[in-house]
Amino acid sequence: MIACRNCGAEFAEARKALGYNTCLECGAEEAKKIVHTIAPMHKSNYMLISNLDDLKGINNKGGLIR
């Protein structure tokens, strides 16, 4: 058993082998902090947006408007 880096609880070595350093509960809390969305671009592909300021006005035909 391996100790979680956040709370110290033990979790399975198989989880550590997959590259995780936290238990399931701490990993779920970390995953909730990451926010992103997919936006279709005009006459183009889909873009991954993780910053809300980048998303505002990005899908206008004239380009990025701030």
Per-residue pLDDT tens digits of the chain, which is 66 residues long: 899 999 999 999 999 999 999 999 999 998 888 777 787 777 778 878 877 777 776 766 655 555
Overall size of the chain counted in residues:
66
pLDDT on residue 34: 76
pLDDT on residue 62: 58
pLDDT on residue 60: 63
Contact 13, 1 (CB under 8 A): yes
Question: Which segments of the chain does DSSP mark as H helices, in order?
Answer: 13-17, 24-33, 52-55
User: Which residue, among 65, 35, 62, has the nearest Cα to 48 in the 3D structure?
Assistant: 35
pLDDT on residue 64: 55
pTM score, two decimals? Answer: 0.53
